[in-house]
């Protein structure tokens, strides 16, 4: 297994490199974001360990650029920040997992092995279905290039349907995945919100499949 390690703190970088090599990994080390991205795009790596705060190009930007090139290598991000928002930022921009510094080397290895087992399935960070586009990183939705403003619930419903384009999704599945189980949800909530989405995004987009559920039409 070949790993790419992008870390600008030299001592930490070297120590991690040595540790991972002693586990049998081949490890290339880059000291800044730009050279890390360059290596990532042109090398054959099984996973990348990526610091967030890097000279030349931040870890967030590296992983975004990588996903934009449709490169799905597993990415484990490292950061000294520990705010919830940073973690969400990292995951939204396309990273697969996140560790806060200082971290335990044993935990790093365990997380890394879990990522390697999962491999690199295709998972674009921006969802597109026809002219419909949803960017989870900034919670933006547009259709045909026009931005559409959605409430949190409408957005969650649309995101769920966009992750299963062309499939019939039952009302129960939608309730389970989009509505908080602790909330007392009105039985017709799904119909009501499908109606809101139709109004905002166009009536042609969401098809009602009688007795079965709803389907997001694909072009």
Q: Does 135 bind Ca ion (CB under 5 A)?
A: no
Residue whose token pair is 């705010």: 83
CB 144 within 8 A of CB 108: no
The minimum distance between CB 105 and Ca ion, in angstroms, equals: 17
Which residues, at least 6 apart from 211, have a Cβ–Cβ distance to it below 8 Å?
none
Using the contact rule CB under 5 A, the part of the chain among 51-59, 95-103, 120-128, 155-163 near Ca ion is 51-59
> With binding defined as CB under 5 A, does residue 8 bind Ca ion?
yes
- 32, 57 in Cβ contact below 8 A? yes
- If one asks whether residue 1 binds Ca ion (CB under 5 A), the answer comes out as no
Q: How far is the CB of 149 from Ca ion (least distance, A)?
A: 36
For position 53 contacting Ca ion by CB under 5 A, the verdict is yes
Query: Using CB under 5 A, which of 16, 29, 36, 51 touches Ca ion?
Result: 51
Give the shortest CB-53-to-Ca ion separation in angstroms: 4
Cβ contacts of residue 170 below 8 Å, gap of 6+?
Answer: 212, 213
Cα distance between residue 144 and residue 167, in whole Å = 22
- Closest distance between Ca ion and the C-beta of residue 33, in Å? 10
Residue 51 and residue 70 in contact, taking contact as beta carbons nearer than 8 Å: no
In order, the DSSP letters of 31-48 are SSHHHHHHHHHHS--SEE
Q: Is 12 in the site for Ca ion (CB under 5 A)?
A: no
State the residue number with the nearest CB to Ca ion. 53
CB of 73 to Ca ion, least distance (A): 20
* Site of interaction with Ca ion (CB under 5 A): 8, 51, 53
């Amino acid at each position: 297994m070949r790993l790419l390690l992008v870390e600008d703190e030299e001592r930490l970088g070297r120590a991690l490199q040595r540790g991972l090599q002693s586990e049998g990994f081949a490890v290339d080390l880059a000291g800044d974001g730009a050279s890390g991205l360059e290596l990532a795009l042109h090398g054959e790596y099984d996973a990348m360990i990526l610091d967030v705060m890097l000279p030349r190009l931040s870890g967030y930007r590296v992983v975004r650029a990588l996903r934009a090139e449709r490169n799905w290598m597993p990415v484990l991000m490292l950061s000294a920040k520990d705010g919830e928002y940073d973690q969400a930022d990292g995951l939204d921009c396309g990273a697969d997992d996140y560790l806060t510094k200082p971290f335990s080397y044993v935990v790093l290895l365990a997380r890394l092995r879990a990522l390697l087992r999962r491999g690199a399935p295709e998972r674009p960070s921006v969802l597109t279905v026809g002219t419909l586009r949803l960017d989870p990183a900034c919670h933006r939705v547009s259709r045909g290039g026009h931005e559409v403003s959605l409430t949190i619930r409408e957005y969650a419903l649309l995101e769920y349907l966009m992750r299963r384009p062309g499939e019939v999704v039952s009302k129960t599945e939608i309730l389970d995945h989009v509505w908080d189980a602790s909330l007392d949800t009105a039985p017709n909530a799904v119909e009501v919100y499908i109606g809101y989405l139709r109004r905002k995004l166009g009536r042609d987009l969401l098809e009602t499949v009688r007795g079965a559920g709803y389907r997001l039409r694909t072009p």
